[in-house]
Amino acid sequence: MNDKVTAIINKYGGERGQLVSILQDIQAEYYYLPGEALIQVSEIMGIPASRIYDVATFFKAFSLEPRGKHIINICLGTACHVRGGSRVLEQVERCLSIKRGQTTKDHKFTLETVNCMGCCAVGPAVKIDGDYYGRMSTDKVEGLLAKFE
Amino acid sequence: MTMITAVKKIGSRQDLEALRKELVKERRAERPVISLCNGTACRPYGCLKLTEDFKKELAKQGLEGKVELRVTGCHGLCEKGPIVVIQPGDIFYQQVNSEDVPEILSETITRGKIIDRLLHTDPATGRKVVHRNEIPFYRKQERNILGNNVEINLANIDDYIAIGGYTALAKALLEMTSEQIIDEIKASGLRGRGGAGFPTGTKWESCRHAPGDIKYVIVNADEGDPGAYANEGLLSGNPHSVLEGLIIGAYAIGAKQGYVYVRNEYPLSLANITTALRQAEQLGLLGTNILGSGFDFSVRINRGGGAFVCGESTALMASLEGKVGEPRAKYVHTAEKGLWNRPSDLNNVETWANVPLIINKGAEWYRKLGTEGSKGTKIFSLVGKINNTGLVEVPMGITLREIIYDIGGGIRDGKKFKAVQTGGPSGGCLPESMLDLPVDFDELSKAGSMMGSGGMIVMDETTCMVDIAKYFLTFLEEESCGKCLPCREGIKRMRQVFDEITEGRGSEKDLEFLEQLSATLIDSSLCGLGQTAPNPVLTTIRYFRNEYEAHIRDKKCPAGVCKALMHYYVIEEKCPGCGLCVKECPQQAIAFMGKKKPVVMDESKCIKCGVCYDVCKLGAIGKR
């Protein structure tokens, strides 16, 4: 039994209705949802593991695979789309040689997309590790990625 | 930020009034206020650092305590962020950066001088505007709900109480019966701001009369529409207004437990509603015997997991129960059997925030704004190819043209307007000929679009309408929960047809097929996601048929967006041969021909990534 996982479940009083929040917190701790943690949630909360897996795979926010050191979120909301967000995504895919949803071999970057982050004014927008970068274009991608170690 | 002055609970209306007076006195102290936007949209501009710079500089110039630095939520004109508004004087500075800070303090605050270069320029007249209320962007707005953002330090209950917050709650709990509140809401004509526009009072009434002792009220803050951040700006900037509305609704309906379901992609909203909740609990505005009325109510916050379908009421409730967010058929309404099979009332963030206003000012006052069938104001996130991107709040009945041209300042880069999209993936695209349509639930539906939760995306001549329809289908295909077949397979099949059309393999029969399949989805999908999914397709076929025909017959994308049907080329007379595109091209498809000679592109090597187009600031790369 992992104490951290137990502590997260206890924080929400083990309430079934808080399952999504509990999984969010576990993911915030490990950057993904480790299998053992899901089993532990199942045992403590008395929910079948298949149900936990159901929820963990339904919601886009969750990853069952280990993710990279830096999480790149490319906004593909409509406002960013009409300003060329998908071209920015393609450029990042080319630069890192991965497709969206994947992690680089060196585990440095995970590339994800999001459907609006609420900063449409500066679209196309990109978020890396919680910091927002606005007015992105294909030619700025390489320089931005180079900033991350 | 000022600290909560009263840690003791507010046990009565007198307590609330006494606290308010004390706070107002403190605010009225003759000192200037610098209101600085720290909303999500201003974050990429570096407003957090700017806030720190202001704090340091205030100390350096010995102004600490003499000037109030108010760190607030969204001010609206996101395009020109970071925004600073100075009181007294209503002086509006835009695009402020760190270097401007010492001057703002020494010149404007200390000497009362206006700094010209930070002022807004009226695009129509070219004149500088000093006062916020004179800026065209704000002039036609009615910021009844959003306007208070600038008065409130992020998630600060003292500020909210100082401007009259929770007085509506006191009035509702201590002077009105549940029936009176419901009657007032019904009389106001308030309709759900989440999109479909169901009358709020009627919804409350059926939930109140539904059999059962335990009932729930829920805030839907799972704003999943791509390109809409209206709820975000409101919930992060003024969370207490939503909470106050929720408590009033709970009392009217007879619920003792409430939930706020927040989209996890909105960290600021989540943080601020969490803080607001804690503050309200500390002051006794949530909990037992609220304001001495005998009414008990508590609220929990749940986070979404990034599923668009969870904005649908039954899917959201399933998610609240810890299950996957799949909707169910609504033969029995959620007002009767919702969360945990008990009567539940779910309303959008903006709907809840309208409630305190109606209770305080009365239904009669509220009805004065708007059209016959749509009352009050509506918040939109005005985005896309528009000059003044931002959050706007307009009276119902205003025309789309007024929003786009008078408030939004028209189309960017001198381009031509093509379409405006409202209602997100459930809405439609309206052409120029529909621009005089009023913002009204029924009028927008009649035109094939819908009000939606507040996205208003403006598109210009460089936007391909076929691509937009495909974009929404791709989005919905990913977001379909897969429970019912028409939605799961129908959207996928439609998207496949769009692949054909945008790759030059479309046929004349495709449009007829798309319309047939659309009818099937509308009739037979389980929930709103599938039922409204055809809207972007049907409206683009209806209003932009010529673009479909260009893709199908001529194998051309007139806007130059669909990759298979366009290519980049060098506009020789504009190219000075600087070689920047040569350096950046990942395919070595562009050759340098010597100084002052235009570069040459080998189209067979080009992968159409668009780097050359983006990197060339002289416009020497064209699309055709």
* ipTM for the complex shown: 0.89
A75 and A99 inside one domain: yes
Same domain, A45 and A92: no
Determine phi and psi for B392, rounding to 5 degrees: -120, 145
Same domain, A78 and A25: no
Q: Which residues pair with B404 in a beta bridge?
A: none
Whether residues A114 and B306 touch (CB distance < 8 A) is answered with yes
Are A130 and A110 found together in one domain? yes
Question: What average pLDDT does range B340-354 have in this prediction?
Answer: 97
- In eight-state DSSP terms, residue A63 is -
- Average pLDDT for B33-40: 94
Per-residue model confidence as pLDDT tens digits over B500-542: 999 999 999 999 999 999 999 999 999 999 999 999 999 999 9
Residue A99: which CATH number? 3.40.30.10
Burial of B487 (0-12, 13-18, 19+ CB in 10 A): buried
| Neighbour order of strands in the sheet with B257-262 | B298-303, B257-262, B216-221, B344-348
Enumerate the β-bridge partners of residue B302: B261
On whether residue A63 sits in a domain, the answer given is: no
Give the 3-state secondary structure of residue A71: strand
Provide the chain B residues 583-622 that lie in CB contact (below 8 A) with chain A: 584, 586, 609-611, 614-615
DSSP class of B68: E
Task: Give the one of A20, A82, A138 whose C-beta lies nearest to B303's C-beta.
Answer: A20
Peptide bond into B123 cis (omega under 30): no
B44 → closest Cβ in A20, A54, A122:
A122
Q: Per-residue pLDDT for B2 more than 70?
A: no
- B225 contact residues in A (CB cutoff 8 A): 78, 116
State whether residue B264 sits within 8 Å of chain A by CB: yes
Could you read off the pLDDT of B280-315 as tens digits, one per residue? 999 999 999 999 999 999 999 999 988 889 999 999
Nearest Cα residue in chain B from A77: B226
Which of these, B364, B368, B468, B461, lies nearest to B422 by C-alpha position? B468
DSSP states along B542-599: HH-HHHHHHHHTS---TTS-SGGG--EEE-GGG-----HHHHH-TT--EE--STTS--
Distance CA(B81)–CA(B96), nearest Å, equals: 7
Q: Do A20 and B611 touch (CB under 8 A)?
A: no
Within 8 A of A62 by CB-CB distance, chain B residues are: 305
Q: How far apart are the first and last CA of chain A?
A: 34
B389 part of contact set with chain A, CB < 8 Å: yes
Element (H, E) at B418: strand B417-422
- pLDDT, tens digit, for every residue of B38-70? 999 898 899 999 999 999 999 999 998 899 999
Cβ–Cβ gap B614/A120 under 8 Å = no
What tokens does B46 get?
């570096």
Distance from CA of A84 to the nearest CA of B (A): 9
Percent of chain B with pLDDT over 90: 84
Interface contact A51-B323, CB threshold 8 A: yes
| Confidence band of A118 (pLDDT split at 50, 70, 90) | confident
3-class DSSP string for B354-404 = HHHHHHHHCHHHHHCCECCCCECEEEEEEEECECCCEEEEEECCCEHHHHH
Mean predicted lDDT score pLDDT of chain B: 94
Nearest by CB: A58 against B233, B307, B384: B307
Beta bridge partners of B191: B199
Q: Which chain A residues touch B306 with a CB distance below 8 Å?
A: 59-61, 114
Q: Does B227 sit within 8 Å of A78, measured CB to CB? A: yes
Of B29-43, B144-158, B244-258, B485-499, give the lowest mean pLDDT range: B29-43
Which residues of chain A neighbour B616 with C-beta distances below 8 Å?
none
- Same domain for A138 and A102: yes
The two structure tokens encoding residue A25: 């917190």
The answer to whether the peptide bond before residue B136 is cis (omega within 30 degrees of 0) is no
Q: Which of A26, A90, A116 to mutate to test the interface with B (most CBs of B within 10 A)?
A: A116
Tell me which amino acid residue B462 is: T
For residue B103, CA distances in Å to B54, B96, B377 come to: 11, 11, 38
Residue A8 lies in a domain: yes
Out of B266, B305, B424, whose CB is closest to A20? Answer: B305
Burial B105-143 (b: 16+ CB within 10 A, else e): beebbeeeeeeeebbbeeeeeeeebeebeebbbbeebbb
CA nearest neighbour of B198 among B360, B377, B345: B345
Q: Does B614 score more than 60 pLDDT?
A: yes
pLDDT at B586: 87
Question: What is residue B495's predicted lDDT score, i.e. its pLDDT?
Answer: 97
CA-nearest residue to A91 within chain B is B609
* Cβ atoms of residues B440 and B397 within 8 Å: yes
Cβ contact (<8 Å) for A90 and B390?
no
Task: Look at A115 and B475 and tell me if their CB atoms are within 8 Å.
Answer: yes
The secondary structure of chain B in percent helix, strand, coil, rounded to multiples of 5, reads: 45, 15, 40
Among B20-24, B55-59, B359-363, B423-427, name the one with the lowest average pLDDT. B423-427
pTM for the whole structure: 0.93
Q: How many independent structural domains does chain A possess?
A: 2
Inspect the interface and report whether the beta carbons of B324 and A58 lie closer than 8 Å: yes
One domain, residues A96 and A129 = yes
In this predicted structure, the answer to whether residue B1 has a pLDDT above a threshold of 60 is no
β-pair partners for A110: A71, A103
Looking at the DSSP bridge assignments, the partners of residue B568 are B623
Q: Report the residue from B225, B325, B475 with minimal CB separation from A58.
A: B325
CA distance A138 to chain B (A): 5
Residue A64 domain-assigned (yes or no): no
* Structural domain of A141: 70-146
- Say how far apart CA B160 and CA A45 lie, in whole Å: 39
CA distance between the termini of chain B: 55
* Sheet bearing B68-72, strands edge to edge: B68-72, B33-37, B84-87, B91-93
Please give the single-letter amino acid code of residue B344: S
- Nearest residue of A to residue B309 by CA position? A59
Compare CB distances from B227 to A51, A120, A137 and report the shortest one's residue.
Answer: A120
- Residues in CB range of B387: below 8 A, 6 or more apart: B79, B123, B408, B409, B410, B411, B412
* A49 falls within a domain: yes
Top residue of B269, B303, B607 to mutate, by most chain A CBs within 10 Å, is B303
- The CA-atom distances, in angstroms, between B159 and each of B84, B269, B274, B359 are 18, 18, 17, 20
Asked which of A18, A37, A58 is the last residue of a domain, the reply is A58
Q: CA B235 to CA B270: how far, in whole Å?
A: 8
Taking 80 as the threshold, does the pLDDT of residue B29 lie above it? no
Same domain, A83 and A140: yes
Q: Is B385 on the interface with A (CB under 8 A)?
A: yes
Q: Are A132 and A89 part of one and the same domain?
A: yes
A7 shares its domain with A75: no
Shared domain for A86 and A50, answered yes or no, is no
Q: Do A93 and A140 fall into the same domain?
A: yes
How far apart, in whole angstroms, are the C-alpha atoms of residue A120 and residue A82? 11
The pLDDT-based confidence of B7 (bands split at 50, 70, 90) is low
* Domains delineated in chain B: 31-139 (3.40.30.10), 157-367 (3.40.50.11540), 377-460 (3.10.20.600), 465-552 (1.20.1440.230), 567-623 (3.30.70.20)
Structure confidence by residue, pLDDT tens digits, B560-612: 999 999 999 999 999 999 989 999 898 899 999 988 899 999 988 999 988 99
**pLDDT value at residue A113:** 92
Residue-wise burial string across B449-465, b where 16 or more C-beta atoms lie within 10 A, e elsewhere: bbbbbbbbbbbbebbbb
pLDDT at A130: 84
Is there a contact between A115 and B385 if contact means CB atoms under 8 Å apart?
Answer: no
Q: Is B186 exposed, middle or buried (0-12, 13-18, 19+ CB in 10 A)?
A: middle
- Contact status of B321 with chain A (Cβ, < 8 Å): yes
A65 inside domain: no
Q: How distant is the Cα of A146 from the closest Cα of chain B, in angstroms?
A: 15
Q: Which of residues 35-74 of B touch A (CB under 8 A)?
A: 40-41, 43-45
Establish if B267 touches chain A: CB-CB under 8 angstroms: yes
CB B263 within 8 A of CB B219: no
Residue from B614, B618, B623 to probe the interface with A (highest A Cβ count within 10 Å): B614
Give the range among B183-197, B282-296, B441-455, B493-507 with minimum mean pLDDT: B441-455
